[in-house]
C-alpha cells in the first residue's frame, strides 16, 4: 500500500482527493493507516459525511448525524464521530483575531441575507487569515467571487495594514471589472477611509458582516479551510518565500483544475468564464 508520505510527495499542486482518484484509492485510506478494507456502506457513509462537511465545515458530529438522518444512509452518532476521526474532520471555528475594529469608522449593513446569488461579479467577498511559518506569521488576504468560488486576487503581508488589502482589491477590479456588492467583516482595514473610497469610487455597494457573525462570510471561510487542509498543513512552509511560492501554485490549481462538487464538478474558472460569456451575450 502507498504510504501517506508517498502520496503527498507525488505533487505539490494536486489535492488529496485528486491524488486518491489518480491512484484509485479510497479517500479514507489516506487519513487512516489502520483498517483499509472498508466495505461499500462504510465508504458511502464517509463520502457523504465529507460532502456535508465541505458544505458546512462548522458542523460537528451531532449536526452531521442529524443531516444523515435525512439520507438513505443510516449511521449512528458514535459511528459518525469515528468516521470523522478517520477522515481527519473537525468543526472549524474562528481563528485568533485578524479582525480588529475601529470604533470611529463607519460600519455598513449586511446585504446578503436571503439574497439570491446567481451570477459572477454579483458579490465578491474578502477576509484576512494568518499562516504560521518558522519564526512568525504571514497575513494573507484573498478576494473571492461568491458565485463561482474563483479567487480573483490575493496578497501576502507581514503586518495587518490596509495597503495589502487595497492592492488585492485594485488588482481584482483591474482584471475582472467590478462586483455589484462587496462583502467584508468590520475590521479596521475594510472600514478605513481609503479602502471604502475604492468601493465608492467604483459604485460598489458595501456589505459588512454583523458583529460576531463570521458565518456571514461563509464562502471565504470555506476557502480558508480548503487552502489550509489541501496545501498549507501538508507542506509546513518554513519561510516567507517558500510560503508565497507554494500558496501561489496552489491557487492556480484551485482556480483552474480543482473540481468542486458544489459547482457540478466544474472548476471556479469554468463557472466564472462560462457564465460571464452567457451574461455578455
- Using DSSP, state whether 217 is helix, strand or coil: helix
Q: Are 23 and 187 in contact (CB under 8 A)?
A: no
Judge if 155 and 58 occupy the same domain.
Answer: no
The answer to whether position 218 is within a domain reads: yes
Which whole-number Å values give the CA distances from 152 to 203, 242, 254, 256, 279, in the listed order?
A: 19, 21, 11, 12, 19
CATH code for the domain in which residue 242 is found: 3.30.420.10
The answer to whether position 259 is within a domain reads: yes
The answer to whether position 100 is within a domain reads: no
Judge if 127 and 12 occupy the same domain.
Answer: no
> CA 240 to CA 260: how far, in whole Å?
29
pLDDT digits (tens, 9 = 90+) for 149-208: 999 999 999 988 899 999 999 999 999 999 999 999 988 899 999 999 999 999 999 999
Judge if 164 and 66 occupy the same domain.
Answer: no
The answer to whether position 102 is within a domain reads: no
Q: Are 108 and 207 in contact (CB under 8 A)?
A: yes
Judge if 136 and 212 occupy the same domain.
Answer: yes
Q: What is the pTM assigned to this prediction?
A: 0.64
The answer to whether position 233 is within a domain reads: yes
Indicate the residue among 32, 63, 87 that finishes a domain: 87
Domain of residue 64, residue span: 4-87
The answer to whether position 205 is within a domain reads: yes
Across 36-45, 66-75, 222-231, the highest mean pLDDT is recorded for: 222-231
The answer to whether position 118 is within a domain reads: no
CB-based contacts of 278: which residues, under 8 Å, 6+ apart? Answer: none
Q: Are 175 and 153 in contact (CB under 8 A)?
A: yes
Task: Tally the domains of the chain.
Answer: 2
Amino acid at each position: 500500500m502507498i504510504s501517506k508520505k508517498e502520496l503527498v510527495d507525488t505533487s505539490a499542486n494536486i489535492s488529496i482527493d485528486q491524488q486518491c482518484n489518480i491512484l484509485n484509492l479510497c479517500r479514507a485510506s489516506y487519513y487512516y493507516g489502520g483498517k483499509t478494507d472498508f466495505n461499500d456502506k462504510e465508504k458511502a457513509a464517509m463520502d457523504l459525511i465529507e460532502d456535508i462537511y465541505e458544505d458546512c465545515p462548522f458542523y460537528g458530529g451531532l449536526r452531521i448525524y442529524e443531516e444523515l438522518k435525512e439520507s438513505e444512509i443510516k449511521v449512528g452518532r458514535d459511528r459518525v464521530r469515528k468516521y470523522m476521526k478517520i477522515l481527519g474532520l473537525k468543526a472549524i471555528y474562528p481563528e485568533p483575531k485578524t479582525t480588529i475594529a475601529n470604533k470611529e469608522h463607519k460600519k455598513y449593513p449586511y446585504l446578503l441575507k436571503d439574497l439570491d446569488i446567481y451570477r459572477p461579479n454579483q458579490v465578491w467577498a474578502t477576509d484576512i487569515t494568518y499562516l504560521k511559518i518558522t519564526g512568525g506569521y504571514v497575513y494573507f488576504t484573498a478576494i473571492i467571487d461568491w458565485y463561482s468560488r474563483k479567487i480573483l486576487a490575493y496578497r501576502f503581508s507581514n503586518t495587518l495594514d490596509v495597503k495589502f488589502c487595497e492592492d488585492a482589491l485594485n488588482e481584482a477590479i483591474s482584471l475582472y471589472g467590478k462586483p455589484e456588492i462587496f462583502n467584508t467583516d468590520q475590521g479596521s482595514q475594510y472600514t478605513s477611509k481609503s479602502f471604502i473610497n475604492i468601493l465608492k469610487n467604483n459604485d460598489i455597494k458595501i456589505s459588512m458582516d454583523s458583529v460576531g457573525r463570521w458565518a456571514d462570510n461563509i464562502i471565504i471561510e470555506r476557502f480558508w479551510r480548503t487552502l489550509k487542509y489541501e496545501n498549507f498543513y501538508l507542506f509546513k512552509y518554513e519561510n516567507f518565500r517558500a510560503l508565497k511560492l507554494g500558496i501561489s501554485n496552489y491557487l492556480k490549481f484551485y482556480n483552474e483544475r480543482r473540481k468542486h462538487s458544489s459547482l457540478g464538478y466544474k472548476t471556479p474558472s469554468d463557472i466564472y468564464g462560462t457564465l460571464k460569456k452567457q451574461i455578455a451575450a
